[in-house]
Structure 1
Amino acid sequence: MDTGTHVVMGISLGGLATLDPTIANDPLLPTSIMIATIIGSQAPDFDTILKLRNNAVYIRNHRGITHSIPAVLLWPLLITSGILFLTPETNWLPVLLWSFIAVFLHVFVDIFNAYGTQALRPFSNRWIALGVINIFDPFIFFSHLAAFAFWALGLPPGRTILVLYLVLIAYYIWRVSEKGRVVAHAKKLHPDATHVFVSPTIRWNQWHVVIRTPDVLYVTESRNHQIDYFEQYSFDPIPDIPVINAARKDPNLSAFLSFSPTYRWEIEEQDDITEVRFVDLRYRSKGHYPFVAIVKLDPELNILSSYTGWVFSEETLQKKLNIVTE
């Protein structure tokens, strides 16, 4: 989820904790737990700092180890230790419990995005991405704000947030069901489909869908349970040829391939430069595929420049590659 949604979730957990009368009646605990849940709701995303290095490092590692099983256990210990350092008289056990709940909820809701997490590390490095909830979901965010408004008007925070969470549980169940309908429809149209990749959008009735059959990749959109076809590409596994093998040694392309489950690739010769381009097919927007990886090589297959990430025009991409096009 986006940062704003994680923040409101942290605040809501702080309110939910007041259902425990021991916490509600303690002079220190409500504030300490609110701080713990807000920090805990953000902690797994502290790896966003990796963007300062480069996109390849960020793509390969974001939502990786910081969302892993050891991290889910470590973050609450660090948060609780910090709070106890500032307020030693605080009852540490409820703070530890609620900071753990905040961290766990962060990782749990991220699983429902198309991006996903490596939540099972160190037992598995597989990305778990259910593709049910958009990175920013207006209903989730604004329902939290509505609950906070009732809270500010004097309703008990614990019961108010409990109602909010019951509504959100029902919402998540409905979204899982809706995605299931989209997948079932795609498989009905293509019984030979080996994979159906679904990415939610900000609209409830609209989904990006890539259908892979043994021979073809269909780029489609499901809107109001009707599938519209945009493009189709031959499904060609990555070939074992020198130019591709050289390009795959580049960190940007390597990071892209570690993350993207469905893509097309192409090789283009431009004077003495060979361009290898991979395009993720899940995020088609206005006829453009913004998530790409590109590597440019010289005749000896030395890497000249490369890039991976989100880019919305060819001109911008070439600037990022530091190559002037004519």
Structure 2
Amino acid sequence: MDNVTHALHGLALYAVAATDPSIANDPTAMSAVLWAASLGSQAPDFDFVVRLFGGNVAYLKHHRGITHSLPAWLLWPTCLALALWLFFPDHFGLLWWWSFLGVVVHVGMDLLTTYGTVAFWPISKRRYGWDILMIVDVVLWALGALGIFLWWQGVSPEQVLLATLVPAGLYLLVRVTVQLMLRRRVRQFYRQSGIEIGRISVIPFLGLFRWNLVAESETGYETGTAHLRKGIAIHRKYAKNKVDAAREELERSQVYQVFSWFARHLFVEVKRAEDGQLRAEMADLTFGFQDRLPLSAQVTLDAEGSVIEERLMRKPVKVRAGKQKAQNGSANKNHDAN
């Protein structure tokens, strides 16, 4: 999630602490909780320093990595509690606990996004992203703003939590339900079409009813939309280009290594010039929208396989019109999976 949402959940934890009379009646303890919950809710994203020193490729590899992992769940609260203990010497346990809750809720919210996180390392190296929320969710922002307003108006912490956390929980439950329904409809759509697919992703987009989708088969990918009322629409098709012959060369590229590890639906197009120079364009179709591929990269190698240039694309790349569009006819029409 974005850092504004994480800050709001830090304030929500502060409100939870205020419901405990032993904390609420101690101004020093309340200050300790505020600092601990606020910093804990942001701490896992301190990995932004990787971008400052290692650049965008290193940041793509390490963001939401070890700083969100199981050891970090314990390391961050310990470091924060030790630092804050200098200012709140009588509340080390309180500092550690509310920092810990801030970290855990932060990681839990990140798991609900498509970008995901390696939250369960070292038990699992897999990056988990549950495709429930966009990085920025205006509904959660609105509920957070409501909570701040109510607190400013002097409403009790219990009432603030009732007015914000209950609707937030129901909202998440609805999004989970819609996502599961759409995944089932996408599977049903392909079964009815007689197309065998493997991995699918139903990805949150603006609103509750319209979601993006990526379906992967042995021969390629299809991208489109899954709508709760309008059904399934396939907009584009991407053939799986065989890169086995060039894989050994591409593995020399740090960008390709990172993309191969990170991308859920990796599309790679390889071209070799007459002089032996190889150029590879790649994108993670998971993050595409319409004909734009925001998370993409280019790698160029010479005839000997040495990397000449490799770079991430900072702006959404527009897919070249023509050969990758879905064919006219049933493939690009809306379909009701029901």
Residue 49 (structure 1) shift:
1.5
Within-5 A mapping of 1:33-182? 33-52=33-52, 53-88=54-89, 90-182=90-182
Answer yes or no: is the 8 Å Cα contact 1:43–1:75 preserved in 2: yes
Residues 46-91 of structure 1, C-alpha deviations (whole Å, 9 max, x = no match):
0012112222211111111000111011111111111111232x32
Q: What is residue 302 of structure 1 aligned with on the other side?
A: 306
3-state SS of the aligned residue for 1:207? strand
Deviations 1:124-164 (A, max 9, x none): 11011101100000001111111110111110124312442
TM-score by length of 2: 0.87
Q: CA deviation at 1:214?
A: 3.1
- What is the identity, as a one-letter code, of the residue corresponding to 2:9? M
Alignment partner for residue 205 of structure 1, among 195, 199, 209?
A: 209
Could you tell me whether the CA contact under 8 Å between 1:212 and 1:235 is conserved in 2?
no
Q: Is 1:263 aligned to residue 266 of structure 2?
A: yes
CA deviation map 1:147-198 (0-9, x unaligned) = 1101111101243124422221211111111111111111001122211112
CA contact (8 A) 1:55 1:309 kept: no
Instruction: Return 5+ residue gaps in structure 1 as ranges.
Output: 315-326
Do 1:253 and 1:308's aligned partners in 2 also have CA atoms closer than 8 Å? no
User: Number of matched residues?
Assistant: 311
User: Percent same amino acid among aligned pairs?
Assistant: 26
Q: Which residue in 1 is equivalent to 2:315?
A: 311
In structure 2, the partner of 1:215 is: 219
1:265-307 alpha-carbon deviations (Å, 9 max, x no partner):
1112456432111121122234121211221011222110001
Structure 1 residue 249 corresponds to structure 2 residue 252 = yes
Q: Using the TM superposition, name which of 26-35 and 198-207 deviates more.
A: 198-207
Corresponding position: 1:287 with 2:291: yes
Task: Determine helix, strand or coil for the equivalent of 1:132.
Answer: coil
1:54 alignment partner, SS class: helix
Secondary structure of 2:298's aligned partner: strand
CA contact (8 A) 1:279 1:293 kept: yes
Work out the CA distance in 2 between the residues paired with 1:309 and 1:165.
38
Name the stretch that deviates more: 192-201 or 122-131: 192-201
Structure 2: runs of 5+ lacking an equivalent: 319-338
Moved over 4 A (4+): none
Distance 1:222 1:133 in 2: 15
Secondary structure (helix, strand or coil) at the match of 1:110 reads helix
* Deviates further, 106-115 or 274-283: 274-283
The one-letter code matched in structure 2 to 1:232 is K
Conserved 8 A contact 2:64-2:116: yes
Question: Equivalent residue of 2:129, what SS?
Answer: coil
* Equivalent residues of 1:136, 1:202 under 8 A apart: no
Q: Which amino acid aligns with 1:296?
A: T
Whether the aligned pair in 1 keeps the contact of 2:113 and 2:131 (CA below 8 Å) is yes
Supply the distance in 2 between the matched residues of 1:93 and 1:153 (Cα, whole angstroms).
31
The alignment's TM-score, normalised by the length of structure 1, stands at: 0.90
